[in-house]
């Protein structure tokens, strides 16, 4: 069911947008990884998921699970609910369990959508999960022009994997300073992926207007 749902969602978004993937050879095969991506729109999870390898999971706010049909679809695609303001311990445990079960995890470290396309400072949640699960992080840049509309060119770029052990020495009790260093590394990589194509995406949108 997962691969059937993923096929139709990927087909739908390829029809709606002029979708391109770069750097997929950077994604390790045969292991669950954490995709840490910038956040531009509500379409980011399927846009990212279309280029991800194997099965994956992602966090979604609990309000999205109220509609039974939509809840069934996003659960089939690997979503699990997050209750805002009710603590992060259970969410982190669920994320680690998904990784240990062989599903890669999609995370948007900025926590909210960027209104101007610039990459924010980000949070250390992905770093903590990566350290505890001993999973490598793949930085991702989702790039398009000022607005996402029909047949907009969208480029999803996958960067080189980051090993959390290079920054965090003890996975059982991660040092907060080490987590911040790891967070700064993947946020810097995301920013480089995005800014390297940002001007190109804006120019193409103006040319097609």
Under the banding of pLDDT at 50, 70 and 90, the label for residue 52 is: very high
Q: How far apart are CA 176 and CA 158, in angstroms?
A: 26
Which tokens sit at 15? 């029809």
Which residue do the tokens 């069911």 mark?
1
Residue 76: pLDDT above 90? no
Residue 24: pLDDT above 80? yes
**pLDDT, tens digit (0-9, with 9 covering 90-100), for 125-178:** 999 999 999 999 999 999 998 889 999 999 999 999 999 999 998 777 889 999
Residue 86: pLDDT above 80? no
Number of H helices, E strands in the chain: 6, 7
Residue 78: pLDDT above 60? yes
List CB contacts of 132: < 8 A, sequence separation 6 or more.
Answer: 92, 96, 171, 172, 174
- Give the pLDDT confidence score for residue 29 in this predicted structure: 94
């Amino acid at each position: 069911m997962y691969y059937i749902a993923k096929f139709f969602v990927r087909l739908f978004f390829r029809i709606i947008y002029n979708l391109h993937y770069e750097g997929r050879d950077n994604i390790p095969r045969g292991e669950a990884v954490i995709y840490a991506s910038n956040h531009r729109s509500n379409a980011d999870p399927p846009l990212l998921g279309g280029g991800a390898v194997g099965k994956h999971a992602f966090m979604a706010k609990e309000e999205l699970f109220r509609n039974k049909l939509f809840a069934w679809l996003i659960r089939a695609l690997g979503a699990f609910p997050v209750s805002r303001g009710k603590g992060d311990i259970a969410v982190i445990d669920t994320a680690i369990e998904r990784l240990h079960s062989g599903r890669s995890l999609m995370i948007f470290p900025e926590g909210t959508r960027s209104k101007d396309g610039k990459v924010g400072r980000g949070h250390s949640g992905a770093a903590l999960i990566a350290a505890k699960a001993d999973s490598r992080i793949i930085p991702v840049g989702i790039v398009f022009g000022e607005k996402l509309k029909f047949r907009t060119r969208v480029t999803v770029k996958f960067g080189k994997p980051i090993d959390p052990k290079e920054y965090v020495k003890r996975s059982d009790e991660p040092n907060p300073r080490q987590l911040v260093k790891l967070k700064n590394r993947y946020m810097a990589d995301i920013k480089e992926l995005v800014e390297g194509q940002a001007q190109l995406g804006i120019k193409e949108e103006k040319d097609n207007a």
